[in-house]
Structure 1
């Protein structure tokens, strides 16, 4: 005897259930409305800071491209490892070990295609 399988109903036939609206406390994980309001405002500030950080990184990438082009057109190498070590040390000194990882990612972004 072979097992029988059932074919699931087409998903188009299903009607999506609309999720009930969530309160600010549910969205933020806060236990009070006051805390939820504070968290919501702080998250908006973080989002604005993230936008600025992204813009600064994009600006840094453009400046780095100018430096790389000048170095290569003068017969130099694309990457200056001594300079990269200075940048890594600067971030490590300012932010600790996670700063080094952050700097590595930023340097990778700024190098472009090697």
Structure 2
């Protein structure tokens, strides 16, 4: 009795060359998006640091809880529950060292 093995492209998990090509192309787009997202997060962190520095220099608090709530609501409205988690992570990254 002979069995026919289904070829699997190990990098993509695809079972056909066409699917592997599509997955590879999509992964390249995701990698590009991830790079851009990381750059935007780093830019956001720098802007947030500037805001915090100015707020403290003027006698205010480093963090504005009302502004953070606006951001949480914005992300939640657009992305749902996971948007809130993402916003919390961004806010944590952007607060800097306490």
TM-score using structure 2 length = 0.91
* Contact 2:75–2:84 (Cα < 8 Å) also in 1: yes
Q: CA deviation at 1:93?
A: 0.5
Give unpaired runs (5+ residues) of structure 1: 1-22
For 1:8-87, list aligned pairs within 5 A: 25-87=9-71
Matches of 2:8 and 2:97 in 1, distance apart?
Answer: 44
| 1:109 alignment partner in structure 2 | 93
Larger Rg: 1
Please say if residues 57 and 106 of structure 1, whose CA atoms lie closer than 8 Å, have aligned partners that are also in contact: yes
Q: Alpha carbons of 1:24 and 1:55: their partners in 2 closer, same or farther (altered >3 Å)?
A: farther
**Structure 2, unaligned runs of 5 or more:** 1-6
In 2: Cα distance, 1:48 partner to 1:25 partner:
22
**3-state SS of 1:27 partner:** coil
Q: TM-score, normalised by structure 1?
A: 0.78
* More RCO (CA 8 Å, sep 6+): 2
Distance 2:11 2:44 in 1: 35
Over 4 Å off, 4+ runs: none
